[in-house]
């Protein structure tokens, strides 16, 4: 029998990988007896994932933690006790549409979507409330009051007195925001397809914390990248001579190896066919490569001028001598009859029809153009309503590019569970109208009341959902008028309800 040289499988690590596929947030790192880092399971956290109550544990490990984290996990794992009630009177083309607009707390909705949409969502975009230190609308059962925060964070003694006179309540706002986001992102991950992607807009207040909880929930190895979006032109400074003009977009996947984002189509404007080459349009290309060997380092002599070329210093030809002859015979390498003293004596043709990838990668700076600023979104809303109604809306062009880079148009589902003014629905319809796609959207929004003296309230919109639904109706009419495209312009409206009425 031949000697086995294959390294035996590490069954422990294989089992850990299987657990990571289900609960990536319970995976941590430890050092083995040789001091090497290895993946390990945080069993205390795994216990919490498999429990209906809060599990206490005290082992120290590298992790982001805060008062309320265990409650957030428990909250995500608690079954929904709500249902969805159809609201046909607010819907458009109920019998035919496959788009959804759901009114209610997105925590309830994300749980309800588990019944039908596990591993089905291709793209999630969310623009959650930025944590500016004020209380936000999503007040879960575990939202911490000031006294609760001080107690849970160990700042009160047994008699309930402050251990320190320093005013350290700022962490309460971080804790509340993190608890709110953690439970929802955990539920959102389950809905993603293996090749699905989630985009999350965030500003500097919680950017660092969001990276940490996303690394935990999705796995740090599934972090794809970060996009910078220009939000405004240069205005005044913050008092320190600095002007903040951007916010961030984090991109995570469920399984990074299955994801391939597609950027803008490459320009082939510099390709032409001046010599009527039967292989079509071409442009001069670089014939050298970074790596090679003896078989790809040799002289190439121009038969017309006698010029001898070698690869540039430190490089090799991108072909062997045998392949060189084939290229010469078919015209891919064309010798110059006349050339300058310092010019290469031949042209290496790159054909348009040989381009493997006809699209550029998605740039982390694509959204730094002025078209992606907040004022563009404000003008879009004013074009539909004569008012913007929102302080910091996102432009259609921004979400359009995000959806386009990760969807094919063939029945992909796009989810936005902080849908606000329903820009995501607008972007999906616009993209479908342009490429004939059949993408479907699911918009989820809490019916937050509009401010009594706001323009929206004066115009008859009593809550944000009313604005979002009307925005979809008006955007659909505008797109249909401008393009005439035969796409799905409708949407079914459901409302989270405690009754026994279910979606059909």
pLDDT for position 58: 60
The model's pLDDT over 261-320, given as tens digits with 9 standing for 90+, comes to 999 888 999 999 999 999 999 999 999 999 999 999 999 999 999 999 999 999 999 999
Look at residue 29 in the predicted model and tell me its pLDDT.
Answer: 75
Contact status, residue 181 vs residue 201, Cβ threshold 8 Å: no
| 327/419 Cα distance (integer angstroms) | 55
The pLDDT value recorded for residue 174 is 80
Distance CA 192, CA 199 (A): 12
What was the pLDDT predicted at 239?
74
Q: How far apart are CA 446 and CA 184, in angstroms?
A: 14
What's phi and psi for 236, nearest 5 deg? Answer: -80, 180
Q: Which of 396, 369, 372 is nearest to 384 (CA)?
A: 396
Query: Average pLDDT in the 453-466 region?
Result: 95
Condensed to tens digits (0 to 9), the pLDDT of residues 384-399 reads: 999 999 988 999 999 9
Say whether 11 sits in a helix, a strand or coil.
helix
pTM above threshold 0.85: no
CA distances from 431 to 155, 345, 485, 487 (A): 52, 47, 11, 10
Per DSSP bridges, beta strands 308-309 and 300-301 are antiparallel
Enumerate the β-bridge partners of residue 308.
301
pLDDT of 423 over the 80 cut: yes
Q: What token pair was written down for 373?
A: 């600023």
For strands 308-309 and 192-202, give the pairing. Answer: unpaired
DSSP reduced 3-state for 303: coil
The DSSP code for 5 is -
Hey, what CATH topology would domain 80-261+369-497 get?
A: Rossmann fold (3.40.50)
Tokens of 264: 């803008």
> Positive or negative CA dihedral for 77, 82, 87, 93?
positive
Q: What is the pLDDT of residue 501?
A: 47
Look at the chain and count its residues.
504
β-strand 333-335 against 346-351: which pairing, if any? antiparallel
In the numeric block, the tokens 């309460």 are attached to 172
Q: Grade residue 22 by pLDDT with cuts at 50, 70 and 90.
A: confident
d(CA 294, CA 35): 41
Collapsed DSSP state (helix, strand, coil) of residue 207: helix
Looking at residues 242-252, what average pLDDT do you find?
Answer: 93
Q: Which helix (H) or strand (E) holds 388?
A: none
| Residue located via tokens 């005013």 | 167
CB 201 within 8 A of CB 249: yes
Summarised one tens digit per residue, pLDDT across range 129-179 is 887 655 445 555 444 444 453 454 444 445 544 434 344 444 456 888 999
pLDDT in tens, 29-87: 776 667 677 788 888 888 888 877 776 766 566 778 888 888 898 889 888 889 999 99
Which secondary-structure segment (H or E) carries 38?
A: strand 37-41
Helices 374-385, 396-406: inter-axial angle, 10-degree rounding: 110
pLDDT of 161: 45
Comparing CA positions, the residue from 107, 112, 86 lying closest to residue 97 is 86
Pairing of strands 246-253, 223-230: antiparallel
The structural domains of the chain, with segments of one domain joined by +, span 11-63, 80-261+369-497, 282-354
Q: What is the pLDDT of residue 139?
A: 52
Tell the burial category of 461 from Cβ atoms under 10 Å away from its Cβ (0-12, 13-18, 19+): buried
The per-residue pLDDT for 10 is 66
């Amino acid at each position: 029998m031949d000697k086995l040289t294959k390294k035996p499988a590490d069954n422990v690590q294989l089992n850990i990988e299987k657990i990571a596929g289900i609960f990536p947030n319970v995976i941590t790192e430890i050092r083995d007896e040789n001091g090497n880092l290895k993946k390990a399971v945080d069993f205390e956290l795994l216990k919490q994932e498999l429990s209906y109550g809060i599990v206490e544990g005290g082992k120290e490990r590298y992790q982001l933690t805060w008062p309320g984290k265990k409650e957030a996990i428990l909250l995500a794992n608690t079954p929904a006790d709500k249902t969805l009630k159809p609201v046909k009177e607010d819907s458009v083309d109920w019998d035919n549409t496959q788009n959804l607009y759901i009114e209610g707390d997105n925590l309830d909705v994300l749980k309800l979507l588990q019944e039908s949409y596990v591993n089905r969502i291709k793209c999630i975009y969310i623009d959650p409330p930025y944590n500016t230190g004020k209380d936000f609308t999503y007040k879960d059962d575990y939202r911490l009051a000031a006294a609760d925060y001080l107690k849970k964070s160990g700042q009160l003694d047994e008699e309930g007195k402050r251990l320190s006179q320093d005013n350290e309540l700022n962490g309460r706002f971080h804790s509340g925001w993190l608890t709110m986001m953690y439970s929802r992102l955990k539920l959102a991950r389950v809905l993603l397809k293996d090749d699905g992607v989630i985009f999350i807009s965030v500003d500097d207040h919680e950017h660092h914390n969001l990276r940490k909880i996303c690394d935990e929930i999705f796995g740090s190895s599934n972090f794809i990248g970060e996009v910078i979006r220009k939000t405004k032109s240069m205005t005044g400074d913050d008092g320190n001579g600095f002007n903040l003009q951007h916010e961030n977009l984090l991109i995570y996947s469920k399984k990074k190896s299955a994801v391939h984002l597609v950027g803008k189509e490459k320009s082939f404007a510099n390709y032409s066919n001046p010599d009527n080459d039967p292989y079509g349009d071409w442009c001069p290309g670089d014939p050298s490569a970074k790596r090679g060997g003896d078989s790809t380092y040799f002289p190439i002599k121009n038969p017309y001028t006698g010029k001898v070329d070698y690869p540039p210093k430190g490089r090799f030809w991108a072909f062997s001598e045998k392949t060189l002859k084939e290229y010469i015979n078919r015209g891919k390498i064309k010798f110059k009859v006349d050339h300058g003293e310092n010019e290469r004596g031949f042209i290496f043709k790159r054909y348009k029809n040989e381009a493997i990838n006809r699209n550029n990668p998605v740039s982390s700076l694509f959204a730094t153009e002025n078209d992606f600023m907040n004022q563009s979104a404000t003008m879009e809303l004013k074009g539909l309503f004569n008012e913007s109604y929102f302080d910091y809306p996102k432009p259609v062009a921004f979400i359009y590019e995000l959806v386009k880079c990760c969807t094919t148009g063939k029945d992909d589902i796009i989810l936005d569970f902080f849908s606000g003014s329903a820009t995501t629905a607008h972007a999906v319809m616009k993209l479908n109208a342009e490429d004939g796609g059949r993408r479907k959207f699911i918009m989820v929004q809490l019916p937050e009341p509009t401010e009594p003296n706001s323009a929206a309230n004066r115009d008859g919109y009593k809550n944000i959902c009313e604005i979002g639904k009307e925005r979809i109706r008006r955007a659909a009419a505008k797109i249909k008028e401008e393009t005439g495209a035969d796409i799905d312009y409708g949407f079914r409206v459901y409302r989270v309800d405690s009754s026994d009425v279910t979606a059909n």
